[in-house]
Amino acid sequence: MTDRYAVFGNPITHSKSPRIHAEFARQTGQDLSYEAILAPLDGFPAAVAAFRATGGRGANVTVPFKEQAFELASRRTERAEAAGAVNTLKFEGQEILGDNTDGAGLVADLTRNLGLDLAGRRILLLGAGGAARGVILPLLGAMPASLFIANRTADKALDLARRLAAAGPVEGGGFDALPGRQFDLVINATAASLAGELPPLPNDVFAPGALAYDMMYGQDTPFLAFARARGARVADGLGMLVEQAAEAFYLWRGVRPETAPVIALLRGA
């Protein structure tokens, strides 16, 4: 019997996840189906329960349900606990395992696809919301020299840094703490790109040879244009999208798919 998986979100029609997982299944010879499910804003737990009742084995979760998925999980991984959000559910009998594969996906894209060794690097993470929370623990696990979280509301960044201080060299503050500092990797995890805006960055924030990474994908954002004009290498978040999906696929199936051909396929499309 074909195993069923899905992605839950609202909106969801734009999701590339069904195509990504169809490619993974074809590549690895796994017998599964994968669909996109529009969950009502006030009906996420019920939608998941209905999916499980009809044989669902696992699910991805996207905006705006990641915090609700965290609450729904009866058991959570360490990285999900650190993120306070869940983007992957695995149904194991009566138990629901919650994981967050975003950070692993980001680190895999940076290191494998973009060839960046994170050890000893100075990293700047822009934003302190859910997108940022999901990647801090895996980034610190890569042994950077430092990780600074910058947010418009400085207290939010400071609180996040304090909460994860035991995991590595992490600080937090407002954007006003950035002048005079340079970074080897600058990651945009803010919602600014969605609005076509640029976070308030100093002109000299990029160290020589720095990489600017925007978690958003599919368009040349103001952040990437700003970085490129200042000599930085740039990358969008398409690779992260595919890599976090591969991490979820591995959690469900115990098989790790090849991501490079799928990234190339989506870039071509």
Mean pLDDT to the nearest integer, 104-124: 98
Q: Per-residue pLDDT for 115 more than 90? A: yes
Strand partners, 149: 125, 172
* Residue 62 pLDDT greater than 90, yes or no: yes
User: Angle, to 10 degrees, between the axis of helix 130-141 and the axis of helix 154-163?
Assistant: 40
Q: Note if the pTM is more than 0.85.
A: yes
Question: What is the β-pairing status of strands 88-92 and 95-99?
Answer: antiparallel
Summarize the confidence of residues 99-120 as an average pLDDT: 97
Find the angle CA(249)-CA(85)-CA(24) to the nearest 5 degrees: 15
Predicted pLDDT at 233: 98
Catalytic status, residue 90:
no
Average pLDDT for residues 232-250, to the nearest whole number?
98
Predicted confidence band at 56 (pLDDT cuts at 50, 70, 90)?
Answer: very high
Assess whether pLDDT exceeds 90 at residue 88. Answer: yes
Extract the tokens encoding 14: 């734009």
Q: Which is catalytic among the residues 21, 66, 76, 122?
A: 66
Domains of the chain: 3-100+240-268 (3.40.50.10860), 103-236 (3.40.50.720)
Mean pLDDT of 57-65: 95
- Amino acid 196: pLDDT: 86
Q: How confident is the model at residue 194 (pLDDT cuts 50, 70, 90)?
A: confident
In this prediction, residue 1 carries a pLDDT of 85
pLDDT of residue 193: 83
Contact 158, 184 (CB under 8 A): no
pLDDT at 6: 98
Give the pLDDT band (50/70/90) at residue 78.
very high
* pLDDT score of 218: 87
| Mean local confidence (pLDDT), 38-47 | 98
Say yes or no to pLDDT of 37 above 90: yes
Q: Indicate if the pLDDT at residue 267 is higher than 90.
A: yes
Task: Please give the average per-residue pLDDT across 176-203, as a whole number.
Answer: 94
Please report, in range form, the residues annotated as the binding site for NADP(+): 78, 127-131, 151-156, 215, 237
Neighbours of 12 (CB within 10 A): 18
pLDDT number for residue 130: 85
Cα separation, 44 vs 234, in Å, equals 36
- What pLDDT is attached to residue 269? 82
